[in-house]
Structure 1
Amino acid sequence: MHLIALNIPDLLINLWRCNFGCEKTDSKHSWDWGVLQGDTWKQHGQAITDSTPHLPGSFDRPPWNPAEKISSGYNAWEFLLYVYGLAPALPYNVLPEKYWRNFCKLVFSVWIFNQHHILTVDLQQAHKRMLEFTAEFEVLYYQRRANWLHFVRPSLHTAQHLGPEVVRSGPGICSSQWTIERTIGNLGQEIRQPSNPYANLSQCGLLRSQINALKAMILFLSPPTNPIPKGGVDIGDGYLLLRAKEKFPRSVRSCEAEVIQSYLSGNQSYDTEFQSKITRWARIRLPNGQVGRSLWKEALKAKGKCRVARNVKNNSEKRPVALVSFYSEPHDTLLKAFFGTVWSYTSQGDSSLHVVSIKAILSVVAMVPHTPFPTSNDVTERFFVVEKPGLDIAHMIHDNNVLEE
């Protein structure tokens, strides 16, 4: 966790900001990778801040502006979202391409290593890209110069061992470390007597141990694994419809009626006299615990006060259903040039409406606006995908799933 989330990001960001020591025989002006400085660094930080409304609440804490907070309490989760979620696309065209391609190989590997279940072919590809990243890093940044030797930290050597054997044995180690750290954090949050914190902490620990012992002896004391909130409806397979819900069915627009009737009739020809009314639900909870919202619910919230959670990743084909709009195909050049780490789409609105089964939704993703080609005549608004680190379905290289809004 610390290697991926803290050590390597700290190395790269300090290089790009020219925060390393420079010997008298050298000049920082020759460091062509040092581009995140001055106004460029401030603009980059603001872009990270501007992405927050587009990150669903299920992504937990969004990263702060790194230009203001990176040296004051920036935690590992923020680094994961910032470096491996947002950074592959937002600063595109700022860092010279040879360094950016090298960085994307790292991102490619980390996306795979962060999963709970990894295909053998993916693991082999991730290990290959990680070896390429570390080897190229020395060629690009160190260049076998004695006065640049301090750029090569031990974390780079450790990263080379993130291969099949380490990944197979790693989750148990990481899980134990995470459990200990979270227990310490949770107990610390429960302290309510700052004048006598250690006695208070010991009582909290004792109470938690007693509760755990009772749960182990009397199994029915444990809460249900998938509780249904008030007003929610269990539609099976771990999917829950959650309030709010419209009191009365409403008529739909003609473009919506067309795709709904096509879905219900098995894609038969559209009947112009077909009239349908639907009842909208505000939210859905997925088997992985994420909660997605409908556009209807998010439109009711104050602009800028709601973190968007209506972009979802689906499988394919039962009712209940969702009316969605498909995004375009990903930009092929960006996808191939950066090893499948930059998935850039355009919104198609009403021109790409479809009805899909609720159970076809796999996860909630972020679609963050970006401008990869600022000097071209193409002014189409584009969005790139950010998935929550660690989801089993986060790796998109070997599927052709369609993103929906």
Structure 2
Amino acid sequence: MIPSLDPEPTPSSMPSVDIGEGYALLHKRSKCEWIPVGVPKAVLDNWLGCDCGSIWMWGCDNIWISRNVKIAEEGRTYIGKVQYFAQLDVQDEVTGELRWEGVAVVELYSEPDPDLLTLSSHLFAMCKHMGPEYTHVISIKQITDIVGMVPHRPTLLSGVEEDHFFMAEKPGLDVATFLGHEDEDEQDEDGMDFPPNAV
């Protein structure tokens, strides 16, 4: 509302690459270009429509919680485990110029078990990790949230135990969606008005 009260964000003290719209690739970057092989190479080639060659890679080996993310694609939400972040040299669809595109190579989780999701009022999202066969390349800007995926080994009704994960989100991230709605002021039993933010 008052621009002077909204200070500019402080720049990170860590080396980073600003990729726009509030996203940045933070250090640690590979010391040299890396040539992907196997499934990651196939999905990168498919995403680019040509041989991806070598890329600059940002690993996330020791950052367990930041590896699991929510992804928005075509109005749907997916959960994925980031294998690494990278920058690819792609051709802009409008100008035809070459530009850097920040991407993440992710292995997807299954959709949450619908019965458990319904029974828990959408609080318990239990998924399976689908593995390397479900590797995809996404734009970093499709990442909407960082989530925790907690290992869970339930015993099914058949007596079989299966490896699953349940999603844990940091409480309070969605509070902003509730702040836009304000109820009309109510009166106390003694007839005095409540202050607007006292309830």
Same fold flag (TM > 0.5)? yes
SS in 2 for 1:277: coil
The question of 1:252 aligning with 2:36 is answered yes
CA RMSD of aligned residues (A): 2.8
Cα distance, 1:330 vs structure 2: 1.0
Give the alignment partner of residue 54 of structure 2, picking from 272, 277, 281: 277
**2:133 alignment partner in structure 1:** 351
1:226 touches 1:238 (CA, 8 Å); kept in 2?
A: no
Cα distance, 1:241 vs structure 2: 0.9
Looking at structure 1, the residues matched to 174 and 16 of structure 2 have their Cα atoms a distance apart, in angstroms, of 26
Looking at structure 1, the residues matched to 167 and 52 of structure 2 have their Cα atoms a distance apart, in angstroms, of 36
Q: Percent identity?
A: 35
The question of 1:383 aligning with 2:160 is answered no
**Which amino acid in the other structure matches residue 278 of structure 1?**
I
Q: Spell out the pairing of 1:212-291 with structure 2 (5 A cutoff).
A: 224-265=8-49, 274=51, 276-282=53-59
After superposition, the C-alpha distances for 1:356-395 in whole angstroms (9 at most, x for unaligned) are: 0011111110101113335634433100011111112899
Q: Displaced runs of 4+ in structure 1, greater than 6 A?
A: none
Give the structure with higher Rg (CA): 1
**1:367 alignment partner in structure 2:** 149
1:342 touches 1:384 (CA, 8 Å); kept in 2?
A: yes
Looking at structure 2, the residues matched to 254 and 324 of structure 1 have their Cα atoms a distance apart, in angstroms, of 14
Q: Spell out the pairing of 1:102-181 with structure 2 (5 A cutoff).
A: none
Equivalenced residue count is 149
SS in 2 for 1:373: coil
Looking at structure 1, the residues matched to 53 and 176 of structure 2 have their Cα atoms a distance apart, in angstroms, of 36
1:228 touches 1:240 (CA, 8 Å); kept in 2?
A: no
After superposition, the C-alpha distances for 1:337-370 in whole angstroms (9 at most, x for unaligned) are: 2221111000011010000001111111010111
Greater strand percent: which structure?
A: 2
TM-score by length of 2: 0.65
**Which amino acid in the other structure matches residue 342 of structure 1?**
F
SS in 2 for 1:251: coil
Cα distance, 1:250 vs structure 2: 1.3
SS in 1 for 2:73: coil
**1:323 alignment partner in structure 2:** 105
Structure 1: state its 5+ residue gaps: 1-218, 266-270, 283-293, 299-305, 396-405
SS in 2 for 1:233: strand
**1:79 alignment partner in structure 2:** none
After superposition, the C-alpha distances for 1:173-206 in whole angstroms (9 at most, x for unaligned) are: xxxxxxxxxxxxxxxxxxxxxxxxxxxxxxxxxx
Structure 2: state its 5+ residue gaps: 75-89, 91-100, 178-199
**2:118 alignment partner in structure 1:** 336
If asked which structure has higher relative contact order (CA below 8 Å, sep 6+), I would say: 1
1:232 touches 1:242 (CA, 8 Å); kept in 2?
A: yes
Looking at structure 2, the residues matched to 226 and 345 of structure 1 have their Cα atoms a distance apart, in angstroms, of 37
Looking at structure 1, the residues matched to 151 and 172 of structure 2 have their Cα atoms a distance apart, in angstroms, of 23
Looking at structure 1, the residues matched to 116 and 37 of structure 2 have their Cα atoms a distance apart, in angstroms, of 36
